[in-house]
Amino acid sequence: MNNHEKAEHIRKCLELAILLEVSADKPGNVNLTSSFEGTTCQHFLASAVAAGPSLREEAYRGGLVAENKIEIGEVGLGQLIKTCVSDVNAWQHGGNTILGTIMLFAPIAVAAGMTSTHKNYHFEFSVLRKNIDLVVKSTTARDSVHLYEAVDIANPSGLNDAPDLDVTDPNSKERLLKENVTLFEVFKIASAYDDIGVEWVNNYPVTFDLAYPYLMDQLKSKPLNTAVVHTFLKILSERPDTFIARKVGKEKAAEVSSDAKAILALGGLETDRGKKSLQEFDKKLRLSQNKCNPGTTADLTATALALCTLSGFRP
């Protein structure tokens, strides 16, 4: 296999993960049958397709690192994220759809490109995880500026004031360069209030240690939709959604997590009581006018699915 073939394989895996995530009937989120005002499933499907070229390029540059053709700090992770966000924005009119997923997938794509594979593109996840750590810790201040520009393009909701280097502050980009604040350091600041930051600076603990193992175990005996929804609930039950916390407070986020835990205890989609409770939970989240949609949990679910597809799972 050559670098181009491997990068294309990784692109397909990650694109499929995005499609599988939005296709599942996750409560409080856009799916095949439920929408938000101005944002439908079709916007997410278009986003997945639009993200493909950047995902491929990220993986390809990881391959160049493995071949010693570029240094890891030359990957340009921030620019790749910005390009991906720009492409997604150009191909659909539903607003911010997958910004969090893009930020989580980019280091994985580069690291997968760096990771040697066996027959049928089998990735050794212990090596992949080490490479993810190398990728995020090799970012630059220029990467930080590009990420801030990507956020400007996506224009996500829920961006309350950050403790420092607020992404909504026009002076922040100049400070990033002047103070040489790498993208890893930016996410370190964000980790105090955002689980995407937690993943970045702690080597993806929710993805590798919680979500992916749980998802794979679910898939042994359950249909794909059930496995994904249960994984979503499992993450939410143990990690109060930071998107909800930023929008309506930590207390509400904790309440939502408690509800998710209770639904799993009732059997989730495998029992009548669990299904009824899940339906009520979905209605409750949607009545909050998008303020209580567990968006970060959806991003983490997509990342677990990314590992799943990279490990060889196919629907």
Q: Flag whether 277 is in a domain.
A: yes
Give the model's pLDDT for residue 225: 97
How many alpha carbons fall within 13 Å on the CB side of residue 178?
Answer: 6
Rounded to whole angstroms, the Cα distance separating 8 from 55 reads 9
Q: Flag whether 99 is in a domain.
A: yes
Give the model's pLDDT for residue 119: 75
Give the model's pLDDT for residue 35: 85
Give the model's pLDDT for residue 164: 74
Give the model's pLDDT for residue 262: 98
Q: Flag whether 248 is in a domain.
A: yes
| Prediction pTM value | 0.96
CATH of the domain at 88: 1.10.4200.10
For every one of its 315 residues, what pLDDT tens digit does the chain have, with 9 covering 90 and above? 799 999 999 999 999 999 999 999 999 999 888 888 889 999 999 999 999 999 999 999 999 999 999 999 999 999 999 999 999 999 999 999 999 999 999 999 999 999 998 777 889 999 999 999 999 999 999 999 999 999 999 988 766 556 677 787 888 999 999 999 999 999 999 999 999 999 999 999 999 999 999 999 999 999 999 999 999 999 999 999 999 999 889 999 999 999 999 999 999 999 999 999 999 999 999 886 556 899 999 999 999 999 999 999 999
Give the model's pLDDT for residue 163: 67
Give the model's pLDDT for residue 167: 83
List helix spans (H) across the chain. 3-23, 41-66, 77-90, 99-114, 125-137, 141-154, 172-178, 183-190, 195-201, 205, 212-219, 224-238, 242-248, 250-265, 272-286, 295-310
Give the model's pLDDT for residue 157: 72
Number of separate domains in the chain: 1
Q: Flag whether 89 is in a domain.
A: yes
- Tokens 């010693």 correspond to 68
Rounded to whole angstroms, the Cα distance separating 179 from 194 reads 23
Rounded to whole angstroms, the Cα distance separating 6 from 47 reads 22
Q: Flag whether 212 is in a domain.
A: yes
Rounded to whole angstroms, the Cα distance separating 37 from 109 reads 32
Mean pLDDT taken over the chain: 94
Q: Flag whether 198 is in a domain.
A: yes
Q: Flag whether 13 is in a domain.
A: yes
Q: Flag whether 315 is in a domain.
A: no
Show the domain range for 48: 3-310
